[in-house]
Amino acid sequence: MLGTVADPIWQFHPHPEVWLLVATIAGAYAYAIRVIGPMVVPAGQAVVRRKQLWCFGVGLALLWFASDWPVHDIAEQRLYSVHMLQHMILAYFMPPLMLLAVPTWLGRLVLGDGRVWSAFRWLAKPVAAGVIFNIVLMVSHIPGVVNASVDSSNGLLHYSLHVLLVLTALLMWTPVCGPFPELRIGPGGQMIYLFAMSIIPTVPAGWLTFADGVVYKAYAQDPRLWGISVQTDQQLAGAIMKVGGSTFLWVLIAYIFFSRFMGNWEEQNTYRRSRRIPDAEIVGHDDTPLTYDEVTRAFDAGPPAEEPERPEQHPA
């Protein structure tokens, strides 16, 4: 039976190398936060924020989901569309979460202040990071590279491409949400940068959507999972790359725009009275209000007001 539970792809296949990777990352992060952080971070400052812990948990879960059974097995042996979904997670969804999870002190501790930091600072410039990431992205979709990477005898090539994709994706996202404030660009620059990053994925996406015949021969084999044909699989892969890549970046651009440039629009254009007192109306914050007697005594203690001179009146 094809595409059902009888398909060997649905038989559980353990990936201990993935479990070891996930456990190592989780253990290293926990050790850094619990042991190293309190010794490095000045007293009174938070070692890590709750938001960063949530980002780390979700990012690690996405890494595990994309790299373990059944997603990894289906992506490697059955459907290129699932392979594309796997790449979208590893390149667009997981990296920004992991960067947001890294406190600044931890990032500086890992990279230091020597040659590694100097090289990283140069590579993390928007132009360099964007070019490097998109070159790796395009190379990872070359038919010869894809066919060789999904071959069961080339497991090292497959994992090496994934590692390279993740590393260059982390580099690409650093100017937007990296842990180093001096390497992040402003909101306007972020929108332009993310828009530029959304252009390149449309090329292989359009190519897959409108290609005639089989692009990746490694996926033109039986059994066909869920009865999806090779041509439909390629079109789905193109749609996933377009929606998962470009649309995701456009949503972020809209979010940055409204957060940065439209944050006070509702407050400035509403007819409702704001609960926040404008600075121009703040006249003091006395704990006890002034009484009439206190005001009267203050006036009495001052010098008497001089009467203005009256102009002399001359008889007509």
SS3 147: helix
Give CA–CA dist 29/37, Å, rounded. 10
What value, to the nearest 5°, has the Cα angle with vertex 203 and ends 199 and 209?
A: 130
What is the rounded distance in angstroms from the CA atom of residue 122 to the CA atom of residue 289? 60
What CA–CA distance (Å, rounded) separates 161 from 147? Answer: 13
Question: What string of DSSP letters covers 256-268?
Answer: HHHHHHSTTHHHH
Residue 65 pLDDT: 96
Report pLDDT digits (tens) over 256-284.
998 877 655 555 555 565 556 555 545 55
Residue-wise pLDDT for 111-169, tens only, equals: 999 999 999 999 999 999 999 999 999 898 888 888 888 876 677 888 889 999 999 99
Please tell me the total number of residues recorded for the chain in this structure. 316
What average pLDDT does the segment 214-243 reach? 86
User: Which pLDDT score, from 0 to 100, does residue 3 have?
Assistant: 47
Indicate the helix (H) or strand (E) that contains 109: helix 104-111
Q: Tokens standing for 119? A: 């090289």
Q: Is the pLDDT of residue 208 over 60?
A: yes
Q: What are phi and psi of 57, to 5 degrees?
A: -60, -45
Alpha helices in 140-225 (DSSP H): 143-149, 155-177, 187-197, 202-210
Alpha-carbon 205 to chain mean position? 22
Residue 204 has pLDDT above 60, yes or no: yes
